[in-house]
Structure 1
């Protein structure tokens, strides 16, 4: 008969050489117990303020670390809860974020060394409510890459990632809204998401994004940069020249072809001077 007195799993769960339970096994059992009985613990104080997060907790697991989107409880997303994390990389406007639980046990050196093998996996976080321009990639990277962020959950999108409101530290007591900054600098535009039409958090975000887009358009930032009068004239002449040249080639008039080549040369010369 197999020995069932020893915990199953990898070697970190096995009894230590002196007959006692290993530190990893004791730690895992303890954190699991705390997570499963958090409601009883919460009855002492239902309002917490840990690491700057202050809200009434109804079903939170302070030790749980999410490695994949499917591990995040649906209740967290429906209530737009806020999580902490560190951005590991940014690609095509998607932030690869390592989730940091409310109580980060890895910050304790001896515990962290025991469970370091479980730290793999990052969450694909997208900038919610914003249609990004190509220029947004560099902007996002410069502001959040390799930095700690907070991301408020909005929904799981069609790509299997999470649309979020992303904020990063601005000063000692303030934070900057990355979604709003992107639109304000003209690197994206506000979009409506029908699925979140009744989400109060998203509606507040949409109001900020619309104001930011109006500001960017008024100031001519990013995608809203207005061409100068000379650029508009040059573009108009360019297309007109193409049309006229096509007609002249079909008519076979060398004189007019020569005349148009001189006119086009004048515009090229001015561009070189500029």
Structure 2
């Protein structure tokens, strides 16, 4: 009996191997689905608290930049192509969630410049730990890929003189003090170099 089973496995080794891959793939897919990696969020309130607490960066496409410091970004979930095939989560095209540029107050030229630069661009964003139900457009830190690295867009905007640094109220969490410090340091740099709004 054992010999027959061994012979069967030897003859059908390729099938058994593929079956193992399929089972492993189903397991990974199941974990991804439970952790909501396949979900497309259309509003900040839909993003789970553990995403915010663990400072998970979400990928998205910029749809608009508004003068009230709001960036409208369409969330692009992980495994996006798989998501569209299996029809899990929301897949409506062009839907964007409004979130604010944390610690930055844009001016009109800065808003126009940022809109031209970021329109339809891929960005990463990380919501700050705030009372989100109390904040309609919660603050977020944005990142753009530059020279192969993710750069803090909030700091870059202030450093170029496209906006002013301001304190982030009603938020806490790791890295907030460092972010505030970097924003005001970037503002001093922009003023010293006469950039943007600091031009003589």
For residue 108 of structure 2, give the secondary structure of its aligned residue in structure 1: coil
Q: 1:104 aligns with which of 80, 102, 125?
A: 80
Query: Distance between the aligned counterparts of 1:36 and 1:225, measured in 2?
Result: 49
Cα 1:37/1:221, change in 2 over 3 Å? closer
Matches within 5 A, 1:57-76: 60-76=35-51
Unmatched tracts of structure 1, length 5 or more: 1-29, 39-59, 227-274
Cα 1:157/1:124, change in 2 over 3 Å? farther
Q: 1:118 aligned to 2:88?
A: no
> Per-residue deviation at 1:79?
3.4
Greater radius of gyration (CA): 1
Higher relative CO (CA 8 A, sep ≥ 6), structure 1 or 2? 2
Report the count of equivalent residues: 170
RMSD, aligned α-carbons: 2.9
Unmatched tracts of structure 2, length 5 or more: 1-25
Query: Distance between the aligned counterparts of 1:36 and 1:215, measured in 2?
Result: 43
Query: Distance between the aligned counterparts of 2:160 and 2:32, measured in 1?
Result: 45
For residue 118 of structure 1, give the secondary structure of its aligned residue in structure 2: coil
Residue deviations 1:154-199 (CA, integer Å, cap 9, x gap): 144865113111111213x223321111111112122112322x42
CA contact (8 A) 2:41 2:90 kept: no
> Per-residue deviation at 1:74?
2.2
Structure 2-normalised TM-score?
A: 0.72
Query: Distance between the aligned counterparts of 1:135 and 1:149, measured in 2?
Result: 21
For residue 179 of structure 1, give the secondary structure of its aligned residue in structure 2: helix
Query: Distance between the aligned counterparts of 2:174 and 2:105, measured in 1?
Result: 20
Could you say which residue in structure 2 is the equivalent of 1:161? Answer: 137
Q: 1:142 aligns with which of 111, 116, 132?
A: 116
Q: 1:170 aligned to 2:146?
A: yes
Structure 1-normalised TM-score?
A: 0.54
For residue 165 of structure 1, give the secondary structure of its aligned residue in structure 2: strand
Cα 1:95/1:37, change in 2 over 3 Å? closer
